[in-house]
Amino acid sequence: MHQGVPPGGALVPEWLAAANRAVGNAWGAAALECYGRVDLRVTGRSAWVSLGGEAFQVADGESFRVPAPERGVVRYVAVEGGLAVPEVLGGRGLLPVARLGGWEGRMLQPGDVLPLGVGGGARLAPERVEPPGEVVRVMWGPEPGRFDPGAQEALLSGRFTVSPTSDRVGIRLRGPHLAHADTGAGLSGPMVRGALQVPASGEPIVLGPDHPTLGGYPVLAVVIRADWGLLASRRPGETVRFRSVGVEEARVAWKRLALEGATKCLIPGEGAGS
């Protein structure tokens, strides 16, 4: 971030963790984030493969198909040992906006061959959970004076819809107008994942993993870390509501999610992107 590079990483971190733990990998091992149908083949050795937390063994030379997500936005495909792509700036994930990381800094193409790391960890069976509700928790932003008095109430009382223009840079939401008195004369400031920016249109943009490191739009609120995946996993047209929490509740929620992810390997219920 201090070098102007977005943090990157998984769009839905808990789903990546579930896929990795099912094949014995560390929760953050490099895997595939798939938005559509993909056909893959394992060569050179047999390996355990996980689709959204469901593990199965693939023989040397055998092919398998990854279906397009049915409800969630993405599916995660993890392979025993992880994908041994080069580490760039401390991570192996692809950052398309900067052409860094992943495999040659680009989206995968037919015929690409990705090396696998060494496996050997204990495979953890996932625990199915019910699909989460529509409520996403936020903390208020640092500049309430840049908004009209009713903006916070409009955010909490309204229902928003995920826009089809959403991507890894930001989740765009359609819903009640969030009025502010910002004239665009303010200085740009540092941004974080989850920041809920409000442009002149009044329709918020919640920053995702590939967000710019600086921004000038006023920030009304910030989605807490424990709910990053809950929001980012929603498909266009699905609804979102917001609830405000304090610092302590946000910390407890993250500790609980991290602990459950380490011990239970939570994945969504039937059809929810798994």
Domains and CATH numbers, the chain: 135-267 (2.40.100.10)
HSE at residue 132, side-chain half, CA atoms within 13 A, is 23
Residue 189: alpha-carbon gap to chain centroid: 23
pLDDT tens, position by position, 158-217: 999 999 999 999 999 999 999 887 666 667 889 999 999 999 888 899 999 999 999 889
Question: Residues 201, 191, 187, CA angle at the centre, nearest 5°?
Answer: 70
| Amino acid identity at 192 | V
What is the spatial distance between Cα 137 and Cα 106, in angstroms, rounded to a whole number?
Answer: 33
What is the reported pTM? 0.88
Token code pair at residue 95: 């950052």
What is the spatial distance between Cα 29 and Cα 13, in angstroms, rounded to a whole number?
Answer: 11
Which pLDDT does position 83 carry in this prediction? Answer: 95
| Mean local confidence (pLDDT), 56-80 | 93
Which pLDDT does position 251 carry in this prediction? Answer: 95
| Mean local confidence (pLDDT), 40-56 | 91
Q: Residue 54: count other Cβ atoms within 10 Å of its Cβ.
A: 14
Token code pair at residue 168: 């890894």
Using CB atoms within 10 Å of the CB of residue 52, give its burial: 0 to 12 exposed, 13 to 18 middle, 19+ buried.
Answer: buried
C-alpha to C-alpha distances, 168 to 10, 193, 249, 273, nearest whole angstrom: 9, 10, 26, 17
β-pair type (75-79, 32-34) = antiparallel
Q: How large is the greatest C-alpha to C-alpha distance in the chain, in angstroms?
A: 63
Contacts of 95-98 with CB under 8 Å at 24 or more apart are 95/5, 95/6, 95/8, 95/210, 96/168, 96/210, 97/6, 97/169, 97/210, 98/5, 98/6
pLDDT tens, position by position, 123-156: 877 666 556 678 999 999 988 888 888 999 999 9
| Amino acid identity at 37 | R
